[in-house]
Amino acid sequence: MYFLILFILHETLALVPDIFTYSTCINSPPEFSPGCMANLTVNLGDSAVFNCQVDPRCHIQYLYWYHEVNGQRRLLKTGKNSSEPYSHTIHSVLKRDLGRYHCVIANIRGKNECSASLSLNSQGNKPHLWTTVGRSHSANHRCLHSMCLYIIFFVFFWKGIVLSINWLSTYISA
């Protein structure tokens, strides 16, 4: 019993320092999480999603998205006029969309900025065998076009067989 009490006390005290060392950035400029934004390389016509990875412990009053081309910045949106302030989506990339994208966060203590570039795939058009599925900066999932079709066919084919067997088994048992 004595050892059980010591063990519980030791484990409880081990958690206490974490509570006291938790920090916020309320009294400082807002910060980004590590790897705040990733550069994107896409094909013309693809969608591109930039995600501004903001440290959740920070108080943010303002958020601005800018697009920079040839040293000129253009305001795209603010956190106040957007339903998704922490991300910027380009649904069908055109050549004019290429360049650098900036996410600027600010509060009364200061501001911080993170940026990433959007560039074209070196081929400049869609590769003939590959189809992009669910492309975003965090995960580029690709599958062979014909392989995707075979997988879809296989799933529906076997699902149809299973449904037919279930229907037959209920019909025969009735």
d(CA 104, CA 61): 11
Give the rounded percent of residues in the chain with a pLDDT score beyond 70.
Answer: 54
Check residue 166 and give its pLDDT. 54
Q: What is the pLDDT of residues 93-144, one digit of tens each?
A: 999 999 999 999 998 999 999 999 999 997 655 544 443 333 333 333 333 3
**Per-state percent for the chain, helix, strand, coil, to nearest 5:** 30, 30, 35
Average pLDDT of the chain, as a whole number? 71
With a cut of 70, say whether residue 165 has pLDDT above it. no
DSSP 83-128: SSTTEEEESS--GGG-EEEEEEEEETTEEEEEEEEEEE-TTSS--S
Spatial contact of 96 and 106, defined as CB atoms under 8 Å apart: no
For strand 99-107 and strand 87-90, is the pairing parallel, antiparallel, or unpaired? unpaired
Backbone φ and ψ for 40, nearest 5 degrees, come out as -120, 140
Prediction pTM value: 0.57
Check residue 136 and give its pLDDT. 35
- CA 129-150-156 angle, 5° bins: 145
Check residue 157 and give its pLDDT. 47
With a cut of 90, say whether residue 74 has pLDDT above it. yes
DSSP 51-81: E--B-TTS--SEEEEEEEETTEEEEEEEGGG
Comparing 16-20, 82-86, 140-144, the range with the smallest average pLDDT is: 140-144
